[in-house]
């Protein structure tokens, strides 16, 4: 019995749903339409089931009062009660807004949660529809008024005949006219005709036939495509001055797609034109600086393709500009350097560094005639109009290189002369020492012998004391002569070898100056030419005398060792030391050459000088020379 009544009730409700004059729809808790009755479909012009699955908010007119609604449930909650109807607009299939009154009923489950909502929609008729449409038009007009008033650009609307129907205040200010002097006039009345004019950017321009042809092309583009952007033109102000404009034009059409006019958004680009003018002036100045620079300036893109080549580059490399622009920058390098240049280009692509790249380098450039010339290059990366440009500045250093070669040649000659002077001095010392030994030394020795014999023969006459005094004087003279001979040219240096001479020198330093000395020798053979042996001996002697004079040392050590084809001599002391980082190889305050002379002497022998010292920690000076000198001997130089 209950089942029969339930079936009958459902059938009854379905009949009401299907035959009701009011539109009825059912939506779920999220606002998705589940089903609608025929009256609802007729009201909105949809076919059966066409709205199923759509959000109810998709067919709600979004006016100011309901624009935030996204579902039927939110509408109901805003109403606070299902008893109160709610007036709103629904959008039919043709896009027309229909005024309706909505009543809603919520369906809840046993736990009180909303599961569905039933909406009953009543059409409010033509009058209400017209009022809503009128309100819509009013809102559109208000929006348009706000756009015109608040736009930073001039906006104008023209009809199909080109007459201005709407314009904003910015346009009136731009042209220097009042509103009634602009609206109703043809667009062409504000376009300059042929003649010379001054612009607001300070330029002098001539309006010729080409300008009008350009405008015709833009008009054709507008009619063909319906829109034109970045259109640059001039408006003529009331005072006859031209205003440069950048405009965006669009065609306006009615509901049938027929053209009913156009709208233009115009921006005053006076300031931009001034900046462009200044930029062009700066670029011209920059171009003149580059073109007349004393150095070759070559610019390329990141791919290494040459895009500019100044006058000095033409003179230096022998190419005309047209011959080289478009070729790879590696084309200007000798074949032996091109692979390295290609790798350098690859490295430039991977970094976005701007400004100076790397250090000033020396290399070679290749002239058109195949001649390689020495160049000094600096590389800069610049960004021009958003593109990274690599600029190389080349300087021909042929003259400088020639001068450097001459200086090096003179320096080598000076080293040779300095060494020759030392060797000549040593030869003269040896000659004098030989003369002293062979003549004066022997004469003194014979005199001593004869005085001894005379003393024996005259002992009876009381001359023993006088003769003995003379004999002692001659003995002292012999000793002094022998010491002088050793100072002038130690015989050990020639008779017993370099190592024995150094050993003797250290013994003399210890004997004469009280400094404890030590000599170390690795025992390996060290075959040295006489000239090399002399120069090294004098160098070690100078270093030891420096220890005596300046180091305030108690101990000094000289070690000598052979390392393959080189000989290393170390002179060490435990004296006061000095800051080795501040040492300068130049003439000292006393006018002597000091370490400068020692360094030059070693350079001549193809050797090196190394100094290790710290304040209060002693000093170690190392001399490294090849056994066979790479340089010329003094005899060869002379």
From CA 408, how far away is CA 412, in angstroms rounded? Answer: 6
Other C-beta atoms lying within 10 Å of the C-beta of residue 319: 19
Whether residues 105 and 197 fall in one domain: no
244 falls within a domain: yes
pLDDT band of residue 465 (cuts 50, 70, 90) is: low
In the block, which residue shows the tokens 């290790």? 612
Q: Of 116-130, 478-492, 550-564, which range is least confident? A: 478-492
Could you tell me which residue, 57 or 544, shows the higher pLDDT? 544
Burial of 177 (C-beta count, 10 Å sphere; 0-12/13-18/19+): middle
Whether the Cβ atoms of residue 266 and residue 154 lie closer than 8 Å to each other: yes
Q: What is the pLDDT of residues 194-244, one digit of tens each?
A: 889 999 988 888 988 888 888 888 888 888 888 999 989 999 999 999 999
Q: What is the pLDDT of residue 37?
A: 92
Query: Which DSSP string corresponds to 558-612?
Result: EEEEEETTEEEEEEEE-S----GGG---S--TTS--HHHHHHHHHHHTT-EEEEE
pLDDT band of residue 634 (cuts 50, 70, 90) is: very low
The domain tally of the chain equals 5
285 falls within a domain: no
438 has a pLDDT exceeding 80: no
Q: What is the pLDDT of residues 247-258, one digit of tens each?
A: 999 888 877 788
Whether the Cβ atoms of residue 99 and residue 128 lie closer than 8 Å to each other: yes
Q: How far out from the chain centre does Cα 366 lie?
A: 27
| Cut 0.85: pTM above it | no
Whether residues 329 and 427 fall in one domain: no
From CA 67, how far away is CA 82, in angstroms rounded? Answer: 20
Span 560-565, average pLDDT: 87
pLDDT band of residue 406 (cuts 50, 70, 90) is: confident
From CA 392, how far away is CA 630, in angstroms rounded? Answer: 39
Span 600-620, average pLDDT: 84
Q: What is the DSSP letter of 423?
A: H
Whether residues 421 and 445 fall in one domain: yes
Query: Which DSSP string corresponds to 70-92?
Result: -SHHHHHHHHS-TTS-EEEEEE-
Could you tell me which residue, 353 or 109, shows the higher pLDDT? 109
Could you tell me which residue, 616 or 430, shows the higher pLDDT? 616
Q: Of 169-173, 487-491, 629-633, which range is least confident? A: 629-633
pLDDT band of residue 170 (cuts 50, 70, 90) is: confident
Q: What is the pLDDT of residues 238-282, one digit of tens each?
A: 999 999 999 999 888 877 788 888 888 889 988 888 888 887 777
36 has a pLDDT exceeding 90: yes
Q: Of 101-110, 436-445, 522-531, which range is least confident? A: 436-445
CA distances (Å), 305 to each of 77, 300, 324, 330, 391, in order? 70, 5, 10, 9, 11
Whether the Cβ atoms of residue 573 and residue 621 lie closer than 8 Å to each other: no
Strand order of the β-sheet with 355-366 is 306-309, 296-300, 387-396, 372-384, 355-366
Whether residues 217 and 306 fall in one domain: no
Span 561-589, average pLDDT: 78
- Helices 530-546 and 498-513: crossing angle in degrees, nearest 10, is 20
Q: What is the pLDDT of residues 274-333, one digit of tens each?
A: 888 887 777 777 777 777 777 887 778 877 788 778 888 787 888 888 887 888 777 777
221 falls within a domain: yes
Q: How much of the chain is helix, strand and coil, in % rounded to 5? A: 45, 30, 25
CA distances (Å), 324 to each of 80, 360, 376, 391, 597, in order? 83, 24, 20, 15, 52
281 falls within a domain: no
Q: What is the pLDDT of residue 3?
A: 45
pLDDT band of residue 635 (cuts 50, 70, 90) is: very low
Could you tell me which residue, 638 or 516, shows the higher pLDDT? 516
Whether the Cβ atoms of residue 272 and residue 256 lie closer than 8 Å to each other: no
Domain end marker among 471, 489, 507: 489
286 falls within a domain: no
Span 169-193, average pLDDT: 88
From CA 412, how far away is CA 415, in angstroms rounded? Answer: 5
Strand order of the β-sheet with 164-167 is 164-167, 154-158, 259-268, 242-253, 227-236
3-state SS, one letter per residue, for 143-195: HHHHHHHHCCCEEEEECCCCEEEEECHHHHHHHCCCHHHCCCCEHHHHCCCCE
282 falls within a domain: no
Whether residues 483 and 464 fall in one domain: yes
637: its two tokens: 């130089």
Q: What is the pLDDT of residue 556?
A: 92
Q: What percentage of the chain reaches a pLDDT higher than 90? A: 8
CATH classification of the domain holding 599: 3.30.565.10
Whether residues 379 and 402 fall in one domain: no
- Which are the contacts of 498, defined by CB distance < 8 A and separation ≥ 6? 526, 528, 533, 536, 537, 560
Domain end marker among 363, 378, 393: 393
Domain that holds residue 401: 397-489
Other C-beta atoms lying within 10 Å of the C-beta of residue 630: 10
109 falls within a domain: yes
Domain end marker among 105, 132, 159: 132
Query: What are residue 523's phi and psi, to 5 degrees?
Result: 80, 0
Q: Of 196-200, 210-214, 404-408, 432-436, which range is least confident? A: 432-436
Whether residues 371 and 422 fall in one domain: no
CA distances (Å), 534 to each of 182, 421, 427, 493, 625, in order? 107, 12, 10, 8, 13
173 has a pLDDT exceeding 60: yes
60 has a pLDDT exceeding 90: no
Nearest of 567, 491, 492 to residue 524 by alpha carbon: 567
Q: β-strand 555-563 against 516-521: which pairing, if any? A: parallel
Q: How does the average pLDDT of the chain come out, rounded? A: 77
- Which are the contacts of 272, defined by CB distance < 8 A and separation ≥ 6? 244
Span 66-94, average pLDDT: 58
Whether the Cβ atoms of residue 262 and residue 157 lie closer than 8 Å to each other: yes
Q: What is the pLDDT of residue 79?
A: 45
207: its two tokens: 């309006």
pLDDT band of residue 592 (cuts 50, 70, 90) is: very low
Whether residues 427 and 529 fall in one domain: no
What 3-state DSSP class applies to 501?
Answer: helix
Whether residues 485 and 531 fall in one domain: no
Handedness of CA 587, 593, 594, 595 (dihedral sign): positive
- Which are the contacts of 98, defined by CB distance < 8 A and separation ≥ 6? 43, 44, 89, 90, 91, 92, 123, 129
Q: What is the pLDDT of residue 550?
A: 87
Q: What is the pLDDT of residue 69?
A: 41
Burial of 172 (C-beta count, 10 Å sphere; 0-12/13-18/19+): middle
CATH classification of the domain holding 248: 3.30.450.20
Q: What is the pLDDT of residue 587?
A: 43
165 has a pLDDT exceeding 80: yes
Radius of gyration of the chain (CA): 54
Q: What is the DSSP letter of 237?
A: P
Q: What is the pLDDT of residue 559?
A: 92
Whether residues 633 and 518 fall in one domain: yes
Whether residues 422 and 557 fall in one domain: no
Span 369-374, average pLDDT: 82
Q: Tell me which range, 96-110, 329-343, 512-526, is most confidently predicted by mean pLDDT.
A: 512-526
142 falls within a domain: no
β-bridge mates for residue 101, sequence order: 87, 122
Whether residues 249 and 317 fall in one domain: no
């Amino acid at each position: 019995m209950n089942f029969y009544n339930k079936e009958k009730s459902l059938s009854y409700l379905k009949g009401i749903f299907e035959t009701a004059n009011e539109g009825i729809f059912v939506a779920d808790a999220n606002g998705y339409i589940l089903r609608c009755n025929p009256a609802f479909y007729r009201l909105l012009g949809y076919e059966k089931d066409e709205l199923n699955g759509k959000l109810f908010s998709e067919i709600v007119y979004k006016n100011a009062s309901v624009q935030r609604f996204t579902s039927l449930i939110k509408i109901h909650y805003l109403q606070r009660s299902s008893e109160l109807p709610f007036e709103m607009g629904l959008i039919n299939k043709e896009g027309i807004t229909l005024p309706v009154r909505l009543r809603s009923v919520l369906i809840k489950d046993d736990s009180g949660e909303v599961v569905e909502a039933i909406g009953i929609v009543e059409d409010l008729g033509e009058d209400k529809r017209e009022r809503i449409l009128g309100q819509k038009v009013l809102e559109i007009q208000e929006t348009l008024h706000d756009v015109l008033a608040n736009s930073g650009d001039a906006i104008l609307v023209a009809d199909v005949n080109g007459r201005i129907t709407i314009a904003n205040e910015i346009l009136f200010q731009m042209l220097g006219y009042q509103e009634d002097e602009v609206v109703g006039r043809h667009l062409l009345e504000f376009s300059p005709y042929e003649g010379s004019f001054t612009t607001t950017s300070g330029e002098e321009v001539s309006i010729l036939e080409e300008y009008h042809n350009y405008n015709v092309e833009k008009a054709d583009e507008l009619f063909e495509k319906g829109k034109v952007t970045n259109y640059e033109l001039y408006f003529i102000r009331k005072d006859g001055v031209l205003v440069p404009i950048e405009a965006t034009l669009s065609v306006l059409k009615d509901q049938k797609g027929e053209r009913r006019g156009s709208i233009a958004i115009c921006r005053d680009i006076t300031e931009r034109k001034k900046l462009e003018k200044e930029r062009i002036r700066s670029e011209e100045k920059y171009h003149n600086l580059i073109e007349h620079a004393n150095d070759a300036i070559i610019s390329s893109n990141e791919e290494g393709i040459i895009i500019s080549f100044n006058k000095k580059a033409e003179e230096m490399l022998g190419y005309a500009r047209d011959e080289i622009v478009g070729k790879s920058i590696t084309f200007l390098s000798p074949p032996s350097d091109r692979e390295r240049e290609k790798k350098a280009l690859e490295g430039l692509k991977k970094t976005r560094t701007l400004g100076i790249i790397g250090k000033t380098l020396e290399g070679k450039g290749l002239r058109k005639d195949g001649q390689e010339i020495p160049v000094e290059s600096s590389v800069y990366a610049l960004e021009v109009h958003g593109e990274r440009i690599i600029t190389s500045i080349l300087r021909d250093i042929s003259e400088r290189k020639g001068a450097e070669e001459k200086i090096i040649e003179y320096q080598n000659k000076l080293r040779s002369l300095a060494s020759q002077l030392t060797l000549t001095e040593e030869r003269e010392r040896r000659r004098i020492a030989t003369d002293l030994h062979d003549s004066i030394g022997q004469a003194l020795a014979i005199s001593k012998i004869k005085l001894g014999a005379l003393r024996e023969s005259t002992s009876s006459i009381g001359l023993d004391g006088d003769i003995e005094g003379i004999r002692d004087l001659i003995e002292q003279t012999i000793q002094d002569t022998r010491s002088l001979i050793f100072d002038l040219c130690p015989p050990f240096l020639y008779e017993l070898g370099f190592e024995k001479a150094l050993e003797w020198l250290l013994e003399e330093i210890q004997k004469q100056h009280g400094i404890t000395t030590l000599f170390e020798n690795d025992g390996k053979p060290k075959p040295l030419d006489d000239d090399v042996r002399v120069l090294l001996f004098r160098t070690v002697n100078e270093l030891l005398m420096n220890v005596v004079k300046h180091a305030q040392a108690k101990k000094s050590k000289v070690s000598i060792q052979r390392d393959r084809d080189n000989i290393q001599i170390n002179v060490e002391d435990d004296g006061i030391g000095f800051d080795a980082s501040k040492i300068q190889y130049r003439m000292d305050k006393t006018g002597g050459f000091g370490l400068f002379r020692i360094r030059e002497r070693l350079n001549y022998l193809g050797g090196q000088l190394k100094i290790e010292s710290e304040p209060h920690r002693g000093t170690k000076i190392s001399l490294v020379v090849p056994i066979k000198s790479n340089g010329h001997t003094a005899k060869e130089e002379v």
